[in-house]
Amino acid sequence: MKISVNGEAISPEVIQREVQNYRQKNLGANEKEAFDAVSSQMVDWTLIRQVATEKGPEVSAEEIEAGFERLCRSHGGREQFFQRFGLSEDRVDEVKLDVERNCRITKFLDELSKDVSAPAEDTVVAYYKEHKSEFVHPEKVHSMHIVKHPQDEASEQAAAAELTNIRQRLLAGEDFMTVANETSECNDTSPDLGEFARGQMVPEFELVVFSMQVGEISPVFKTQFGLHIATVTEKTAAAPMSLADCRARIEEILQHDLKNDAIGRWVDAEKERAEIEVSAE
């Protein structure tokens, strides 16, 4: 396998690794399809990097430091970043050099697409109509719970028995919040969990509460946090979002596409002037 852009060769090992990654992410893609996709992307980004390095905007020391700090934070902090990538602190200058290079590329791409205008109103409306099913206010529930945190099998059995008795009190009509404040091991958090959509709680909890009716008292059930009894005080059905609700998101999507189109046109023109060699052999 060979990819060369303006005399800069990409190692066959890197190409092969990216081809394998592509096939893992795109099941069913054969070797040729994977190589074609990978080589196209590698050529594009090598061209962008080459020109950005030669002609791109300067990057200040403050921008490099800020970019380095963001990079570390995204991996849990400076120490975790160096550990995760097997790097020692004496290689910090290498890391900052990569940060500078990436900052320069980002600023260069911003320059290429800075004159892209906002999407037209009819384009926004058409996108909304075509993708209406993607813009939905999710189903939500308002839930309260009582929780016990057993530490071993024996205490779990005792907690389950206690919660079963508590459930009988609730079924007999006692106020859930009053009983929860009296019996729940919520520590410093309220038994009232508020309103939430799917994906905000652990799956075992969501499976129970999203299947319940308003006012229903759940059986005792288990999650990674302990044993629970839950109730639902309010349910809000999923509902389509209005254009006003999702306009900003649609404009962001369309603006991103327009910028990518502008960058793509620049890359296509640059390819005409570049010396590019690509071979799957």
Residue 170 sits in a domain whose CATH number is: 3.10.50.40
Closest Cα to residue 141, out of 71, 213, 87? 213
Closest Cα to residue 19, out of 6, 5, 3, 8? 3
**In this structure, are 108 and 149 located in the same domain?**
no
**In this structure, are 166 and 100 located in the same domain?**
no
CB within 8 A of 28, min separation 6: which ones? Answer: none
Pairing of strands 226-236, 8-10: unpaired
**In this structure, are 175 and 83 located in the same domain?**
no
pLDDT at 7: 93
**In this structure, are 105 and 156 located in the same domain?**
no
**In this structure, are 18 and 98 located in the same domain?**
yes
The pLDDT confidence band at residue 146, using thresholds 50, 70 and 90, is very high
Domain count for the chain, please give it. Answer: 2
pLDDT in tens, 22-79: 999 988 889 899 999 999 999 999 999 999 999 989 999 999 999 999 999 999 999 9
Whether residue 178 lies inside any domain: the answer is: yes
Last residue of a domain, one of 221, 239, 257: 239
**In this structure, are 154 and 82 located in the same domain?**
no
pLDDT in tens, 172-189: 999 999 999 999 998 778
Closest Cα to residue 21, out of 9, 37, 5, 44? 37
Helix (H, G, I), strand (E, B) or coil at 34: helix
Q: What residues make up the domain containing 94?
A: 2-112
Cα separation, 174 vs 176, in Å, equals 6
Whether residue 166 lies inside any domain: the answer is: yes
Cα separation, 35 vs 48, in Å, equals 20
Helix (H, G, I), strand (E, B) or coil at 278: strand
pLDDT at 189: 85
**In this structure, are 70 and 145 located in the same domain?**
no
Whether residue 48 lies inside any domain: the answer is: yes
Name the pTM for this structure. 0.69
pLDDT at 157: 94
**In this structure, are 8 and 107 located in the same domain?**
yes
**In this structure, are 98 and 15 located in the same domain?**
yes
**In this structure, are 191 and 229 located in the same domain?**
yes
The answer to whether residue 262 scores a pLDDT higher than 90 is yes
pLDDT at 280: 82
